[in-house]
Amino acid sequence: MQVEFLLEEESAEDALRQLLPRVLPAHYVPRFRVFAGWQDLMGQLPALMRGYQRRIGQPAQHELRIVVLLDADGVAEARAAKQEEAAIAAGLLTYVQAKEGQHFHVFNALAVQELEAWFLGDRDAIMSAYPKVKTHHFKGIDREPDNPPKPNEVLWRILKEAGLFASGKRKREWAETIAPHLNPEQNTSLSFQYFREGLRRL
């Protein structure tokens, strides 16, 4: 089964390439399409959904699934609504619409507030990826990883306090390094848990 992931940034692809083998069944074949930010992706989404609707109507494409992953960036409800509207307008059944056990074609997901919240949801993964990071570096950090408005800033602060990345952020490197250590079953980010369960229902 082919699953196409529509992503707003390259770091999301870097993370998913590491993570998906532990979440998606082996017979799923992921493909990635990365856009130049959320505005680019959202701007193209209605036309993309219409194109997918036509593809799914072809005999060899019935099994196609589409996953749209965006950062919430503090406007989760508005972005979620626009994601759903684009799919529904194209005549595609979404995860939110589907009844229990019903097959759907589009899974709209948000990383709240950003992808880095998913890394903060697994502190052991961060410490495994960067052994200089110790438990005390998380002191004062919100235990709910989806709460901080800028999780990438929180992660960077932790890394800097451990003597890493003093010269600047390297989001793609963080994704490539931390994602292999993520434990999908223990992540405390609610948005990650929603993403994990949605993928399992594909």
| Distance separating alpha carbons of residues 154 and 157, to the nearest angstrom | 5
Question: Angle at CA 35, nearest 5°, toward 174 and 156?
Answer: 20
Taking alpha carbons only, the member of 74, 61, 66, 125 closest to residue 94 is 66
| Distance separating alpha carbons of residues 109 and 70, to the nearest angstrom | 7
What was the pLDDT predicted at 137?
98
Average pLDDT, integer, range 91-113: 95
Dihedral angle computed from the Cα positions of residues 174, 180, 184 and 188, in that order, rounded to the nearest 10 degrees = -30
| Distance separating alpha carbons of residues 83 and 106, to the nearest angstrom | 10
Q: Is 154 exposed, middle or buried (0-12, 13-18, 19+ CB in 10 A)?
A: buried
Q: Which of 25-29, 103-107, 115-119, 159-163 comes out lowest in average pLDDT? A: 25-29
- Whole-model pTM above 0.85? yes
Q: What is the mean pLDDT of the chain?
A: 96
114-147 confidence digits (pLDDT tens): 999 999 999 999 999 999 999 999 999 999 999 9
144-178 confidence digits (pLDDT tens): 999 999 999 999 999 999 999 999 999 999 999 99
Torsion sign over Cα 75, 116, 188, 80:
positive
Number of residues that this document lists for the chain: 202
What was the pLDDT predicted at 26?
83
What was the pLDDT predicted at 25?
82
What was the pLDDT predicted at 101?
87
| Distance separating alpha carbons of residues 175 and 172, to the nearest angstrom | 5
Provide the strand spans (E) within 35-182: 65-71, 106-111
Conformational region of residue 108, where left means phi above 0, alpha means psi within -120 to 50, and beta covers everything else = beta
Provide the strand spans (E) within the chain: 2-7, 29-34, 65-71, 106-111
31-77 confidence digits (pLDDT tens): 999 999 999 999 999 999 999 999 999 988 989 999 999 999 999 99
pLDDT at 189 over 90: yes
What was the pLDDT predicted at 59?
85
What was the pLDDT predicted at 27?
87
Q: List the domains of the chain with CATH numbers.
A: 2-114+189-200 (3.40.50), 116-181 (no CATH)
What was the pLDDT predicted at 181?
98
